[in-house]
Chains A and B, each alone.
Chain A
Amino acid sequence: MLNQLLRRILLSLIALIGITLLVFILSHVVPGDPARLAAGPQAREAQVESVRKEYGLDKPLPQQYLIYMSDLFQGNLGKSLQSRRPVSEDLVDYFPATLELTLAATLLAVIGGIAFGILSAVHKNEWIDHLTRVISLGGVSIPVFWLGLVLVLIFYRALGWLPFGGRLDPSLSPPVHITGLYILDSLLTANWQTLGSSIAYLILPAVTLAFSSLGVVSRMTRASLLDTLQEDYIRTARGKGLQERLVLMRHALKNALIPVTTIVGLQFGGLLGGAFLVEVIFSWPGLGTYAMKAIMFLDYNGIIGVTLLTGLVFMIVNLLVDLTYLTIDPRIRAQ
């Protein structure tokens, strides 16, 4: 089991180095002169040159990559051309918002998905199963950026139930920065006002984002639960006259959820990507917002930084999921 885990970590690291190379090559093949943009449209040649030097853009490509990689190992992602700050500082500023949104959506998707999954497994091929199937497939089929617009129209504009636009009521100051997750920081500092506001602001974007994954999780739960219910030990349990509810909860669900954990990692990646679109709709100051600006400025370091960070996070989440899977799956544990 330890071997498997080490192997996974090693593979992930190889993948990470590969991707830096890939994105780096791509971004430097594009014609364009980022130094000129940073210096301003009317900058004189000398101004442009001074910026070019400062950002190391005057060196040959392989050397720029080597510089980039050696910096990377020191946690230095270069300077962002759009914000003129170290990319790592930008990421520290913008990432917590994205993480909070993605985690909240993952939580909603998992809880809601499992509930829906159980519902349709229990009522297999009844109308309720068909309905959850349509809702699930609808969730996977709906463009998340469009769903966001529609939900805003309904819950903010028409009903006025939920706030929208940013992470927090603008009259409030953000909670003391500990993790950067507003909900967590508010809890840790017992700041109930910002806690309430940040939860309220989180609901719409998180629900929007969660919708697509909710469908996948519920389909997976249904399939897995149905498989498990056919297993011999369940039949035995039923044969012993155990209550159906007990059978479901104590035996079937526990084992049925094991394969579900594996797709949570995959879904997290999808949600992380989807968050970029949701942030645009909800003026959510996260990595997506940052990436949009980096794209507008052709800010190589910014784009690479965002891609790397999301990759790293995705990788860690998948590792954690693998670890959980290895720990809870009796078949693997037994090996």
Chain B
Amino acid sequence: MVTIQKKLRFWGMLLTFVLLASVILGACAQPTSTSVTPVTLTIADALQPSSLDIATEYEAAAMAVNRVVYERLVRYKGNSTEIEPELASSWDVSTDGLTYTFHLRQGVKFHDGTPFNAEAVKFSFERMLAINQGPAWMFSAIDSIQAVDDNTVKFILKQPFSAFLPVLANIWGTGIISPTAVTSNTVNSDNAQAYMQDHMVGTGPYKFVEWVHGDHITLERNMDYWGGWPESADGKPIDKVVIRFITEPATQRLTLEQGDLDIAMNISVDDLAAVSKEAGLVLVEEPSMMGTYIRFNMTKAPLDNKNVREAIRYALDYKSIIDKIMLGHAVEMQGPAAIGLPGHNDNLPVFSQDLQKAKELMAASGVQTPINLEYVYETGQEDRRMVGELLQANLAEIGINLTIHTLPWESIWARVSAEDKSQTPDLTANGWWPDYADVQDYLYPMYHSSQWPPASLNIGFYGNPQVDQLLDQALAENDATARNAMYEKAQQLIVDDVASLDLYQKTMTIMMHDWVKGFVYNPIYTEAFNIYDMRISK
């Protein structure tokens, strides 16, 4: 047997050797100090975009790259909803609100060297409208676009559209793309969709380098940027941006703590307190306009009964949601539109739990308890799971049995847009991120009766002719005060009708190392960074 043990020692040695070799080679991986290390900003994001094509992408995941590689005619300024010039230096609006004329910045070049001009603006918008996907719905008011001369472009609208400038400042569908890059990569008249899926050619301060699918996107500094690269006391400008796709919040936290990341976008709220205590890590927390709400299926008994809906409204323990589920990293919504949006009604009630009232309302409804209801939320939205679990316990108090289902968004959409409304869940949790800075972006798609699925996101099938009329009028009204009055009235009516459970607006929480300077959060550009203005000081 002794000899056999020797044999075993051989195997053991082999194993040890393999492991050792790996570890040694692994150690070599530590970058040997090269002469010039580029200043790199590494950001972790849970979501990977499905496409980089400015004409089709319409998802938060694409925002970060989109904001700095492409530029728009106008943009939101700093942390506000105010509009300022970007590629347009100035603009005029005709008195009838039908013609928008933009005077363009001169001497700007695309990353491929193509000069930027009015034709490029016209080309970009026409391409996006021709492809007619994703963000195209926001631009349906456009009738035609004219390149008046090299530096002037005109947008003619079909009807007055009061939110046109805010729409042009939004991130989706508005970026100006290099016409040469599109025409030279067009295959079978696809408008270069296949090529632009994986490439970006804009005018912004950063150039697209590569996209390793499932892993990361790399951008590099555009040294020829028209805005130049001013010196800053904050530190050095960023040469290289790496956006890593890390789905697990715990993995993001781990890699952030080990210094492998500069910024983590998706640390779970339960970890924030612990992480912010660590030396060198900073929690950036800003109010957002991202609303989370629950919609009632108003076409089906018993939720067609307003008393039942109102009973549910009073049964829910809002305070626990804000304080114990969101741990204070959210504020309760006030009405159906996000607080902070121009046109929000600040006089609406903010609800709190009142079980006594809820029971009375249930009794008044004449509905026989117990009743069974189904709550549906999108897979992966853990806060909505917890809300559902709490709601389940709350509703048990007033004789309602709630079952919870988690589904991919596609399945939820299939069920809410089914012709047979009995397929639609009784309660559907959803969230809405603002596209552009106007309450219209909340109210119209979610509460106008023409917007029932599949047309749009009125997933509770709410319909009130008075609300419809107010929303239609406001859309065409150019006087801001008059418009806001209409919007405020509409919000009041929606709350009175108990069309939804308006839950909360999560605050934007971003963890970063303290060497990252100059970050400014804009509540409309929810997941995007102003990397051009950011500096690193190590």
Contacts and interface: CB of A to CB of B under 8 A. Distances in A.
Nearest to B53: A84
Interface string A153-167: 000110011111111
B307 interface: no
B4 interface: yes
Contacts of B247: 280, 283, 289, 292
Contacts of A44: 136-137, 140, 455
B207 interface: no
A45 B450 CA distance: 13
A198 B369 CA distance: 61
Query: In this complex, which of B56, B136, B198, B215 has the most chain A Cβ atoms within 10 angstroms of its Cβ?
Result: B215
Interface string B27-62: 111011000000010100000101100001010000
Contact of B137 (A42, A111, A164, A193): A42
A167 B248 contact: no
Given A31-B418, A40-B134, A162 B214 contact: no
B386 to A, nearest CB: 20
A297 B417 contact: no
Contacts of B11: 114-115, 118
Interface string A260-298: 000000000000000000001111011001101101111
Given A37-B409, A165-B251, A166-B244, A244 B1 contact: yes
B254 A164 contact: yes
B137 A40 contact: yes
Interface in A53-100: 82-85, 90, 93-94, 97
A118 B4 CA distance: 9
30 contacts: A31-B415, A31-B418, A31-B423, A32-B414, A37-B410, A40-B137, A42-B456, A44-B136, A45-B455, A48-B454, A84-B51, A84-B197, A118-B11, A156-B258, A165-B246, A171-B31, A192-B28, A193-B29, A193-B31, A193-B32, A196-B29, A197-B29, A200-B23, A202-B22, A283-B247, A283-B248, A285-B214, A297-B409, A298-B410, A298-B411
B423 to A, nearest CB: 8
A34 B410 contact: yes
Contacts of A162: 26
A164 B3 CA distance: 40
A290 B22 contact: no
Nearest to A114: B11
B260 interface: yes
A317 to B, nearest CB: 22
B25 interface: yes
B216 A170 contact: yes
A184 B110 CA distance: 38
A281 B248 contact: yes
A175 B465 CA distance: 62
Interface in B122-166: 132-137, 140
Contacts of A48: 454
Interface string B501-523: 00000000000000000000000
Interface in B394-446: 408-411, 413-415, 417-418, 423, 445
A262 to B, nearest CB: 22
B379 A83 contact: no
A11 interface: no
Nearest to A41: B457
A292 B48 CA distance: 12
Given A196-B25, A290-B214, A283 B411 contact: no
A160 B12 CA distance: 25
Given A45-B454, A83-B50, A170-B260, A243 B3 contact: yes
Contacts of A157: 254
Interface in B8-26: 8, 11-12, 14-15, 18, 22-23, 25-26
Contacts of A34: 410
Given A39-B134, A41-B413, 18 more contacts: A33-B417, A36-B417, A36-B454, A37-B409, A38-B133, A40-B135, A42-B456, A43-B137, A46-B132, A115-B8, A115-B15, A118-B11, A122-B1, A165-B254, A172-B29, A198-B29, A199-B29, A244-B1
A3 to B, nearest CB: 38
B324 interface: no
B366 interface: no
A197 B410 contact: no
A38 B132 CA distance: 12
B182 interface: no
| Interface size classification for chain B | 35 or more
Nearest to A39: B133
A295 B408 contact: yes
Given A85-B197, A111-B18, A285 B212 contact: yes
Given A112-B15, A200-B22, A43 B133 contact: yes
Contacts of B58: 40
Contacts of A322: none
A199 B413 contact: no
Contacts of A152: 254
B33 to A, nearest CB: 12
Contacts of B248: 280-281, 283
B455 to A, nearest CB: 7
Interface in A1-48: 30-34, 36-48
B489 interface: no
A166 B3 contact: no
A331 interface: no
Nearest to B432: A41
B417 A171 contact: no
Contacts of A296: 379-380, 408-410
B246 A203 contact: no
A297 B379 CA distance: 11
A258 interface: no
Nearest to A194: B29
B472 to A, nearest CB: 18
B242 interface: yes
Contacts of B18: 111
Interface string B193-225: 010011000000000001011111000000000
B6 interface: yes
Given A43-B134, A249-B7, A33 B56 contact: no
A150 to B, nearest CB: 13
A170 B31 contact: no
Interface in A200-243: 200, 202-203, 243
B24 to A, nearest CB: 8
Interface in B292-328: none
A311 interface: no
B413 A36 contact: yes
Contacts of A193: 28-29, 31-32
Nearest to A172: B31
Contacts of B415: 31
Contacts of A41: 413, 456-457
A31 B212 contact: no
Interface in B211-262: 212-216, 242, 244-248, 251, 254-255, 258, 260
Contacts of B42: 170
A164 B423 CA distance: 44
Query: In this complex, which of B18, B26, B32 has the most chain A Cβ atoms within 10 angstroms of its Cβ?
Result: B26
A317 B144 CA distance: 59
Contacts of B242: 170-171
Contacts of A192: 25, 28
A248 interface: yes
A219 to B, nearest CB: 17
Contacts of B14: 111, 115
B6 A166 contact: no
A128 B11 CA distance: 16
Given A122-B8, A166-B244, A47 B136 contact: yes
A231 B535 CA distance: 74
